Amino acid sequence: MPTTAPSSPILYSFPSSTELCDALANFIIKAQKESIEKKGRFSVAISGGSLPTQLNALINKPGVRWDKWQVFYADERVVPLDHADSNHKLCTDELFSKVPILKDNIHTIDFSLADDLEELSDAYEKELIREFAQKDSARFPVFDLILLGTGPDGHTASLFPGHPLLTEEDRWVAYIEDSPKPPPRRITFTYPVINHASRVAFVVSGAAKADTLQTVLDKPEEGLPASRVRPTHPGQVYWFVDDPAVSKVSFPRTPFKL
């Protein structure tokens, strides 16, 4: 697939988190429709943190083809799947338990491999290969949508500032044992996977993220992990933010329309 120059991020800002989440749900449904028309499925990767709750506007929306969703986790904590820290538990409690998604299409880590993070991350990578390699015959998986957040330090997924994982170019799934954000043991997609996605949508809300967003969007040269998300195959990065989070950002806003 040809490599193209990264397109400029598209920044949508909303007065409230409610309006942000409703627009995000409509954006996801449109991406889903396009993906199903093109490939008969909708491949999505979801992060943890506040994102799963921000997806709850999907629950009562018409037009969601849950039977066509293939869900992976852009990062996951290496804890039991029913543990309070598990992104899968969070997504299940906030969303998947409330919609008719097929449980077999939600791809979780194999916690039985937790004693060996190399083996556990390899196993999750093989799950990606099973889902993508045969269908897309690309060297890297091409997700229809990857949903990300960013922390106060500008991390995204479990890619943290200054961490060697930022330079991983071959593995699709890597592990970290010293995450600055607890819990310390996690697996994460790497940039080769994230930057091959057709669409990446960051979802960021709250005034506490204002300084971070200013650096990530106005000073990408500082190289915070969230700034390094630049799909080029080709792909597009979208930012769904609320006004408090974007209050210090000079990067131009785009009026939201589908």
Ligand X SMILES: O=C(O)[C@H](O)[C@@H](O)[C@H](O)[C@H](O)COP(=O)(O)O
Number of residues that bind ligand X (CB under 6 A): 14
Q: Which stretch binds ligand X (CB under 6 A): 32-40, 152-160, 168-176, 228-236?
A: 152-160
Site string for ligand X, 162-181 (x = CB under 6 A): -------------------x
Distance (Å, whole) CA 200 – CA 159: 15
Classify residue 251 by its DSSP letter.
S
Contact with ligand X (CB under 6 A) among 50, 56, 247, 254: 50
Please tell me whether residue 48 binds ligand X under the rule CB under 6 A.
yes
Closer to ligand X by Cβ: residue 49 or 231 = 49
What residues from 86 to 125 belong to the interface with ligand X (CB under 6 A)? 87
Strand partners, 200: 146, 237
Yes or no: say if 199 and 235 are a contact pair by the CB < 8 Å rule. yes
Closer to ligand X by Cβ: residue 17 or 47 = 47
Distance (Å, whole) CA 39 – CA 43: 10
Distance (Å, whole) CA 179 – CA 83: 18
Distance (Å, whole) CA 185 – CA 166: 16
The residue whose Cβ lies closest to ligand X is 49
Q: Which residues bind ligand X (CB under 6 A)?
A: 47-51, 75, 87, 149-151, 155-157, 181
